[in-house]
Chains A and B, each alone.
Chain A
Amino acid sequence: MSTLEIRDLHVSVETKEGAKPILRGVDLTIASGQTHAIMGPNGSGKSTLAYSLAGHPKYQITGGEVRLDGQDVLAMSVDERARAGMFLAMQYPVEVPGVSVSNFLRTAKTALDGEAPALRHWVKDVKTAMERLRMDPAFADRSVNEGFSGGEKKRHEILQMELLKPKIAILDETDSGLDVDALRIVSEGINRVREGGEVGVMLITHYTRILRYVQPDFVHVFVDGRIAEEGGPELAEQLEAEGYDRFLAPA
């Protein structure tokens, strides 16, 4: 059992005009086995939350705390967070020319486990996971994300989630840009990881269509850098029907 606790998190980004506050007091607790959907308008700070949890240097933490099973996440470096069990599937995965997918996956697995995986099993695991995500085996030899289509990048993120087995997975718009088949395939991948009941998932999305495959336990409405309302799966349907208007304009 793992628990990620976010308390009163404040985050700014550096701009020419000085520090600009983006997150204004986020409170959220995610435990293993739970799936939390985060929905909110463009620019409300969802990716900022995701990147801040992963430790991206662009974001300055100006207040609050984040703990994973009591450990101070904000004090950890980016790689330490990953080794502590955090995983971020990015909205825009980065291209790394000259580094093959297979080399990258093996290096990551080795870093997380502290030792190289047994080669035979590992090769088989990678192959199986790729097959299930309908990724052509040729991707193993291609450079990480280089020239991947938007949908291929997202599958590659979920491939990593399946193989690296995080405690807390943050999925930032993994569903965006996927066609209907890809959405189902990627959702099945997420569900395979969820089945074990050992992962807590933060699923950032604009659409309820992924939530029909990956059913959330909680839905949070994210507006202007904080959570404005929380509810069950029915809240997602309501948002899709009504939009965010009632959160944006004070009643």
Chain B
Amino acid sequence: MTPSDHDTTRPAAARAVASFEICHTQYLDAEGAVLHPLPAFAREPKSLIPLYRRMVLARVFDAKCISLQRTGQLGTYSSGLGQEATMATIGHTMQPEDVLLPSYRETAAQLARGVRMTEILLYWGGDERGSNFAVPTRDFPVCVPVATHALHAVGVAYAMQYRAEPRVAVCVHGDGATSKGDFYEAMNIAGVRQLPVVFVVSNNQWAISTPRRAQSAAATLAQKAIAAGIDGEQVDGNDAIAMRDCMERALTKARTGGGPHLIEALTYRLGDHTTVDDAKRYRDEGEVEAAWQREPVRRLRQFLAREAGWTDDDEARLQTECAAQVEQAVAEYRAVPPQPPEAMFDYLFATLPIRLRAQREEVLQRGRHHD
């Protein structure tokens, strides 16, 4: 039996008590041509160059991380290829005093927040010091257990609200994460308490091998916000202008007491899930090729070329600059002396309990392990 075989006629006694609609925002088409009158910030097209720079840097850095992994200089790494507009815009639009709670694919957002490339390399290179950011000091480290940080985000937002600070917590995770209870629970209290939190669902269409349609029968992920009584909207996450427009509106609203917001950013994971995944096993190559036609970096570049006089020379210079910045960070990363093994005890508690001192001493005596 299909749903249409069921009698869905509404009984005469029933009346609609709630209804909703989900909006989708897009300004640029896949070729960077303007589809609708631009928001105020984009009317001076040059003002988008700093964001574009962040996107390009993120892409150059991402490619470097993959090659470092391939040559054994980095552990498993999750590429953000194709999601640069979504991610860079998040970091670009937040205020320094806000708090970002990222998952593991949000490198571009972290970079835009001021996390150093060397720190990111240390983290994926298996060194805890990579999560000890010099800037931004209040941001959370990468969250690996999917969606658990959505709950931390409402805790952070509660603290901000409690102290009446004009700050916002921004939680970023994938489409797969929206299937977890944590996500619903977080949105639920965010609605009840009108917390200053923005949830960004970076819907890259895949959760490892699980396609978006296998996560949820809902037409959009944005509408999951509706059940929690908060606003949800969809945006073309590969359109940096649309993404920036939505983020700025959501941040301003949350910062000024308007409550929480959910943004579903439609994007695409152009790479494998991680460096230990092989997407060819489960994903059609044709789909990936089609997605390349909508990718965000080229799209913004074409907009800038058309509207802001961005030239091939500008592009070449930017590429060279980014490559140099990345090489510099890699050199710094390679030069970081290893942690002593007893470091595993040194941040466990404010002061090491007596019971653990003998274990620390044992590790100290043994010295570094030689494989």
Are A and B part of the same complex? no
